[in-house]
Amino acid sequence: MPHLRLVHRFCFLTLLLITLLFAAPTLAAPQVIYDESLATGWANWSWASVNLGATTPVHAGTKSIAVTYTGGWQAFYLHHSGQSTLGFTKLRFFAHGGSSGGQQFSIHAERVGDNGGHGPAVQVAALAANTWTEIQIPLANLGATNTDITGLV
C-alpha cells in the first residue's frame, strides 16, 4: 500500500488555514476557518497530534496549525455542524513542508447527510522544504459545490 507508506514517513506538516476561501464569484467575503485560532463553529476532531497554536513556522500573524503524523491511519480533521458552500468556489490554504519537505496528503469534504461518507479525495502535490505553498482546490473537485459540509479531512 504505497499511500500507507507515505503516511508513515509524513512526520511533520504545518498548516495555516487562512481562509476556507469558498471564494464566491459574487465577491462575497471568504469564510475563514483559521486565523490565529479556529473560527466559531469549527472544532478539531483530528486523530493525529495537532497544535492549533504553533508559533513556528507561521505564514502570517503569530500562530499556525502544526500536525504530526506518527503512523498510519491518522488524519487532520476540522469539523463543523453544517457549513454552507452555496455560492463559493474553492478551498484555499497554505502548507509548509518543514525542514525535509516531500510530504504528500489528500483532502476530502465530509458532507451533511452522507452518514459518514464524503466527497472524492483530492491529492495535493508534495510539499517543498522550508517553504509555504498556497493550495487552492475547487469545491467541485471535492464534491462540495452548493451543499452543506460537516468537515474537512
Whole-model pTM over 0.85: no
The grid coordinates listed for 78 are: 476540522
Of the pLDDT bands very low, low, confident and very high (cuts 50, 70, 90), residue 118 is confident
What confidence score (pLDDT) does residue 20 get?
Answer: 44
pLDDT at 72: 87
pLDDT for res 23: 43
- pLDDT at residue number 101: 95
